[in-house]
Amino acid sequence: MHGMNMSRHSSAQQSQVHRKWGRLHELRILNIRKRMLLQMCRAERHIRVLAAEPESGMATAEYAVVLIAATGFAGLLVAILKSGAVKSLLTELVNRALAV
């Protein structure tokens, strides 16, 4: 009946058509609202997960910082152990341990 001249139909038929299209419109709106609520629930769930584990994305950056610090510390130890004073101290310590 869409696109037809409504004047040829009785007011009861017109009323029935309006109710039908009105109901379809209501169903579409309900469907849209249902989808919106579903999306909002999903977003809320995602936010709750992020709030529960706020630092989970930082793990990689933290590991990188720890690796850089450990490498720097290892380099410092190598430099200290290569110094003459430490070499002689360690040599004396090993000689004492073997002499016992």
Count helices and strands in the chain by DSSP H and E runs: 3, 0
Q: Structure pTM?
A: 0.35
Is residue 74 very low, low, confident or very high in pLDDT (cuts 50, 70, 90)?
very high
When mean pLDDT is compared over 3-12, 13-22, 55-64, 75-84, the highest value belongs to: 75-84
The Cα angle at residue 74 between residues 71 and 78, in degrees rounded to 5: 140
Provide the mean pLDDT of the chain.
81
pLDDT of residue 9: 63
Please answer whether residues 87 and 81 qualify as being in contact, where contact means their C-beta atoms are separated by less than 8 angstroms: yes
Tokens of 63: 């590991």
Distance (Å, whole) CA 72 – CA 81: 14
Is the pLDDT at 4 greater than 60? The verdict is: no
